[in-house]
Chains A and B, each alone.
Chain A
Amino acid sequence: MIRFNDITKIYTSRTAGINNVVALEGISFGVDQGEFVSVVGRSGAGKTTLFKLILAEEKPTQGSILFNDQNIYKLGAGNLNRLRRNIGAVFQDYKLLPNATVYENIAYVMKVIGAKDSEIRHNVPRILEIVELEDRQKNYPAELSGGERQRAAIARALIHRPQVVLADEPTGNLDPYHTLDILKLLIKINEMGTTVLLATHNREIVNKLKRRVVTLEKGKVIRDEKIGRFAL
């Protein structure tokens, strides 16, 4: 479903004398439909860059990523939009629309994919209930705690039942109670057929999951285990 072919990403410094940063180097692996893959590694290992490349937010310096056998960097604007609508992304910095309420942030994705108003009215409250934000739906992101923003971002990523969920540190700001709930939610949607890529440095989560683990270090894949454990 997703195939990374010899991906290298180098961030070029604009300042003379400052070295370029190699974020990813020669990454090659594939993710099948319905898989649950944890991408683990220390901060700066390249997890977030990998996710940015899947969303075509960044372009690789070298290599390609195939999504359903299509090179995502050769997609036209319309197909790129469709690709992104097939991906539910939970960003480390949430990326919630600041001038929209929690409800509107989640409904926005439904509007983008062209869902009917009745579907929006039906689905948004349901997902809000699942992430326990029903009483915060009229609040703006700035009025929420870090954990609440995280849950709003997760709700937005899942609302349109995407083919793939990219979750970049989705439990980073959550307490153990909510962490477990979100984890259960990710497992549940994975069991329903959604492919999940989870970037985390939470050892406990990875060990509990008992799913495939891809370990990154300094931009390279150093381990890829079918049922892995967090080992750095």
Chain B
Amino acid sequence: MLTSFRRIIGLGWQNLIRNGGIAAANVFIIMIPILLTSALFSLRAVGDVLVDELQQKADISIYFNESVSEDDILQVKDRIGRIPGIGKVEYVSKDQALADFRARYEDSSTLMESLDEVIGNPLPALLHVAADAAKPLEEATALLEGDEYRDLVYKINYNERKEDIQKVFAFTDNIGKTGLGLFAILASISVLVTFNTVRIAILSRKREIGIQRLVGASRWFIRGQFLVEGLIFGILAAAFSFLTVMVVSWYAGPALAGTLSMNMWTHFSANFWTILGMHFGIGTGLGIFSSLIAVGRHLKV
């Protein structure tokens, strides 16, 4: 048994070395779905950051009447925070609102002069409310426009931003669905291409498989050799693609950090083991699976 196992490994390795050109083509082809999955994994991270940023911008502001105390506002903050789907709820006091306003418009002398002429702080305290969908914001608005809180609220900008907010969430929702769909299509195509390349490579050795069967080799003795080859193809493809991703992340990561809103090298380092596992899992899985399926149909001699 052990001798057979050793011989299968030896023959598999020998076949791989002797069919160098075909082996190189197989390794290259298996690299494609690995790199594609890896790229989509990184793009998903970039997408998540961008979606998060967009969703943060699709927030609403709730302005409170002059007479409302900070405690009441914090109670409202707490109540809104409990609505499912509501994310960050940020309280901005009157003083903070004024400081923010001054900071934002410090270059506008006209605005600053007008502000100085006004007695006291004309800006209301407010809450910034962010969510992961439009519905929770709509719920929050309905709650505050209801009897319980109507007297406290001076203004909610949901209705004037409603269309934009819905567009942002529809867009971010579609990004996720489109990304998943695109991934499924591309992954299927690349797996099919890989499978067919391995199948054609094995087809060229159909005669060889037939000869082995005719001299009495068992199906597993032959299948095992191709399994070893497939495994080695997968390991090599995974190693090369992993190195490629590492080098690209290292060089391009910092340079693209501004454009992508994240540093690819940081993402690579943080997900090192996941990416490594993903590469080797897909590589060896595809190598073994394609080889086994492709060789199977020629073993019926």
Contacts and interface: CB of A to CB of B under 8 A. Distances in A.
A104 B4 CA distance: 16
Contacts of A109: 215-216
A114 B18 contact: no
B18 A99 contact: yes
Q: Contact size class for A?
A: 20 to 34
Contact of B15 (A57, A99, A113, A156): A99
Contact of B211 (A78, A95, A114, A116): A95
A42 interface: no
Nearest to A52: B214
Contacts of B219: 77
Nearest to A82: B216
A96 interface: yes
A78 B11 CA distance: 21
B208 A112 contact: no
A85 interface: yes
B121 interface: no
A108 B219 CA distance: 15
Contact of B217 (A78, A81, A83, A89): A81
A112 B217 contact: yes
Interface residues of B, number: 22
B221 interface: yes
B18 A89 contact: no
B65 interface: no
B214 A84 contact: yes
B271 interface: no
B212 interface: yes
Interface string A60-85: 00000000000000000110011111
A40 to B, nearest CB: 23
Contacts of A87: 216
A96 B207 CA distance: 10
Given A77-B219, A98-B208, A99-B18, A114 B4 contact: yes
A45 B187 CA distance: 53
Contacts of B210: 57, 95
B69 interface: no
Nearest to A140: B18
Interface in A86-105: 87, 89, 91, 95-100, 104
B301 to A, nearest CB: 6
Contact of B216 (A81, A97, A99, A117): A81
Given A57-B301, A111-B7, A97 B208 contact: yes
A83 B211 CA distance: 15
Nearest to B19: A99
B269 interface: no
Given A99-B18, A99-B19, A55 B218 contact: no
Given A99-B18, A99-B208, A112 B214 contact: no
B110 interface: no
A112 B18 contact: no
19 contacts: A77-B218, A78-B218, A81-B217, A83-B216, A85-B215, A85-B216, A87-B216, A89-B215, A95-B210, A99-B15, A99-B19, A100-B14, A100-B18, A108-B11, A108-B212, A108-B215, A109-B215, A112-B215, A112-B218
The 6 closest A-B pairs by CB, nearest first: A85-B216, A84-B216, A99-B18, A95-B211, A112-B217, A81-B218
Interface of B: 3-4, 7, 11, 14-15, 18-19, 207-208, 210-219, 221, 301
Given A85-B216, A99-B19, A109-B215, 12 more contacts: A84-B215, A85-B215, A95-B210, A98-B207, A100-B18, A108-B215, A109-B216, A112-B215, A112-B216, A112-B217, A112-B221, A156-B215
